[in-house]
């Protein structure tokens, strides 16, 4: 069996192929900045539907957030190998998976707007990493984490319109102490903040939310896309829930900045899966 995974910090989507069946399932996000190899092994061990395939999997192709350096790749590889003991394991950055799903064999910019955000140039074969992807403290412009932070601060600073503030307070029931504990003392503060961004989906027509979306996407464009001198000549693709659910505002901001929008995918896993199978010479 061949397993293919696309992982953000919040969720990992998996698809598997064998001559007799195809499977799909999900696990929590597997990010080497927040999990070690033993954590990854335990994560798999708790999923009974995965355990039966432990010895059957021969190849694993994992594309994940945080997999940008040899030591972080090793964390993921060791964790997966300790569970799928008969498998060859290949680990690459989630941007490479995004490029496979959106660009295929064509040149373009590939962007991630999910829990976090990132961008890279893909020449049709290789990915060229820039200076972006600084994480939720220093970067993640236009991401779920970025928007969650904007919502929390505007609520706590009493800058949110009253009708939104009431709805926000009823949904999350947070105060200063709760936020500080979750952001500064608990694990995975980025996913905590990103979870708050879901508030926007039911209020995305409100002028305050529209302004926040425009601000976040414009900051992503200015900081990330415009860093590439030839960005106006390239198709710019997006993957991730933030890009997908708020694509009307994203397209508006891109049009204003003369950016050619290509594909916008909520989840790239199917595109990555099909790309890997094509490379393996498998027709489904």
- pLDDT, tens only, 51-71: 888 889 999 999 998 888 899
SS3 70: helix
Answer whether 93's CB lies under 8 Å from 64's CB. yes
Taking 90 as the threshold, does the pLDDT of residue 104 lie above it?
Answer: no
Give the pLDDT band of residue 135 (cuts 50, 70, 90). low
For the entire predicted model, the pTM comes to 0.81
Sheet holding 59-64, edge to edge: 21-28, 11-18, 2-7, 59-64, 88-93
Q: What are phi and psi of 279, to 5 degrees?
A: -65, -30
Range with the largest mean pLDDT of 38-47, 135-144, 256-265: 256-265
Tell me which DSSP letter residue 52 carries: T
Range with the largest mean pLDDT of 98-102, 138-142, 218-222: 218-222
3-state class percentages of the chain: helix first, strand second, coil last, to nearest 5 = 50, 20, 30
pLDDT, residue 267, reads 87
Q: Which helix (H) or strand (E) is 248 found in, with range?
A: helix 247-256
SS3 26: strand
- pLDDT digits 0-9 by tens, 165-184: 999 999 998 888 988 888 88
pLDDT, residue 105, reads 83
What are the structural domains of the chain?
2-97+269-279 (3.30.420.40)
Give the pLDDT band of residue 110 (cuts 50, 70, 90). very high
Nearest to 222 by CA among 254, 246, 247, 261: 254
């Amino acid at each position: 069996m061949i397993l293919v995974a696309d992982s953000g910090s919040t969720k990992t989507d998996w698809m598997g192929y064998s001559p007799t069946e195809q499977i799909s399932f999900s696990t929590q996000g597997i990010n080497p900045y927040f999990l070690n190899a033993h954590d990854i092994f335990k994560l798999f061990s708790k999923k009974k539907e995965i355990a039966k395939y432990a010895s059957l999997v021969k190849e694993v192709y994992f594309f994940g957030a945080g997999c940008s350096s040899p030591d972080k790749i090793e964390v993921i590889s060791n964790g997966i190998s300790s569970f799928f003991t008969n498998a060859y394991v290949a680990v690459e950055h989630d941007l490479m998976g995004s490029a496979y799903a959106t660009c295929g064999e064509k040149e373009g910019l590939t962007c991630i707007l999910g829990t976090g955000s990132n961008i890279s140039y893909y020449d049709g074969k290789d990915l060229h990493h820039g200076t972006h992807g600084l994480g939720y403290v220093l970067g993640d412009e236009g991401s779920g984490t970025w928007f969650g932070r904007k919502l929390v601060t505007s609520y706590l600073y009493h800058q949110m319109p009253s009708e939104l503030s009431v709805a926000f307070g009823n949904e999350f029931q947070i105060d200063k102490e709760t936020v500080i504990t979750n952001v500064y003392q608990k694990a995975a503060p980025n996913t905590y903040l990103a979870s708050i961004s879901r508030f926007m989906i039911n209020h995305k027509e409100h002028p305050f939310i529209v302004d926040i979306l425009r601000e976040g996407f414009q900051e992503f464009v200015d900081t990330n896309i415009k860093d590439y001198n030839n960005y106006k000549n390239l198709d710019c693709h997006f993957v991730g829930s933030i890009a997908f659910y708020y694509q009307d505002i994203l397209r508006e901001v891109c049009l204003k900045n003369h950016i050619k929008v290509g594909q916008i995918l909520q989840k790239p896993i199917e595109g990555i899966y099909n790309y890997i199978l094509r490379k393996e010479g498998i027709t489904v």
